[in-house]
Amino acid sequence: MHRLVLLLAFTAACSPPLTGSSHVAAVPDGGSHSPGSPGSTGSTGSTGSTGSTGSTGCTGSTGSTGSTGSTGSTGSTGSTGSTGSTGSTGSTGSTGDMANPPTGGPTGVTLIDEQFNSADGAPWPAPWVVAGGVAHADVNGGRGRFAPSLSSYSLARMAHPAPTGDTRYVNVEALYTISFADVSTSGAGFYVRHDGGYVFQPPPAPQGLGYCAFVAGFRNQLELWFETGGQEQQLLTVPVPLASQTPYRVRFRVTQSSSNTTHLAAKIWPASGAEPSAWMIQIDDHQPLLQNLVGGIATDGWSNFTSGSATPAADVFFADINLKNVQ
Confirm if 284 and 261 have CB atoms less than 8 A apart.
Answer: yes
Confirm if 180 and 314 have CB atoms less than 8 A apart.
Answer: yes
Distance CA 242, CA 239 (A): 9
Long-range interactions of 125-129: CB distance < 8 A, separation 24+:
127/160, 127/161, 128/158, 128/159, 128/160, 129/158, 129/159, 129/160, 129/161, 129/196
Structural Rg of the chain based on CA atoms: 28
Flag whether pLDDT at 180 surpasses 80.
Answer: yes
163-184 mean pLDDT: 97
Flag whether pLDDT at 193 surpasses 60.
Answer: yes
Confirm if 210 and 231 have CB atoms less than 8 A apart.
Answer: no
Poorest-confidence range of 107-111, 176-180, 181-185, 267-271? 107-111
Characterize the bridge pairing of strands 107-114 and 316-326: antiparallel
116-130 mean pLDDT: 98
Distance CA 115, CA 55 (A): 61
Flag whether pLDDT at 206 surpasses 80.
Answer: yes
Poorest-confidence range of 22-26, 47-51, 192-196, 260-264? 22-26
Flag whether pLDDT at 311 surpasses 90.
Answer: yes
Q: What is the mean pLDDT of the chain?
A: 77
Q: What is the largest CA-CA distance in the chain?
A: 122
CB atoms within 10 A of CB 178: 29
pLDDT of the residue at 204: 86
> What is the tens place of the pLDDT at every residue in 2-61?
433 222 233 333 333 333 333 333 333 345 665 444 333 333 334 333 333 333 333 333
pLDDT of the residue at 31: 54
pLDDT of the residue at 203: 84
- Determine the 3-state secondary structure of 66 from DSSP: coil
Flag whether pLDDT at 140 surpasses 80.
Answer: yes
